[in-house]
Amino acid sequence: MMDAIEAEKMSDTDLVMLSLENQANFLYLVDRYKGKLLSYIRRLTNISDDDAEDILQEVFIKVYLNLNGFDPDLKFSSWIYRITHNQVISSHRKLKARPEGYAVNIEDKAALSLAADIDIEAGADLQILKQKISQILAGLDQKYRDILVLKFLEEKNYQEISDIIRKPAGTVASMINKAKKEFKKEMAKQKIII
């Protein structure tokens, strides 16, 4: 087994191959992705930290069990986000009802990016902007919220989003445009002024 410094310098694909040779190396992939995926899970759901951790654990179990099926010609990050996305949906279905009061943690940069892309004039108070964006996202259908979270909060490009949601890149572009329109409609519906 290598050390963490060596692992940091390696590509995801190299770590996958090493994990297939020695399961102890899988820990480096877990360390690399646990924070990002936990944040993604929280952005898509309104569940407790413990429940989010449970979903994340299920994700890593599925990733490990399916490592042999990973295609090294694809991006590992898209593959693991796809598994995470599916696990969130699966967990949501088990609960049978969407929890009330959806909330999302939005970083400053992401809030400004989303506001700029949807042609919203960002006001002086970034905290209020982030709160209002979160409120608007809460009112959107899941499919629109998911696509906006991937594009603006997770900062995924069209190809990565395409790989995650398994839709053609052209469809992704269309979905993003539709989601932005729905965002604006929801903003008007909630009478939120940004």
pLDDT in tens, 105-148: 666 666 666 666 676 655 546 677 777 888 888 888 888 999 99
CA–CA gap between residue 183 and residue 91 (Å, rounded): 25
- Of 8-17, 76-85, 119-128, give the lowest mean pLDDT range: 119-128
Residue 107 has a pLDDT of: 65
**Coil, strand, or helix at residue 118?**
coil
Q: Running DSSP on this structure, what letter comes out for residue 193?
A: -
- Percentage with pLDDT > 90 across the chain: 52
Domains of the chain in sequence order: 4-95 (1.10.1740.10), 108-189 (1.10.10.10)
Residue 146 exposed, middle or buried by CB count within 10 Å (0-12, 13-18, 19+): buried
pTM: 0.74
- Name the nearest CA neighbour of 118 among 48, 58, 186, 21: 186
Confidence of residue 165 (pLDDT cuts 50, 70, 90): very high
Looking at every residue in the chain, the average pLDDT score rounds to: 85
CA–CA gap between residue 8 and residue 29 (Å, rounded): 10
Average pLDDT over residues 14-26: 94
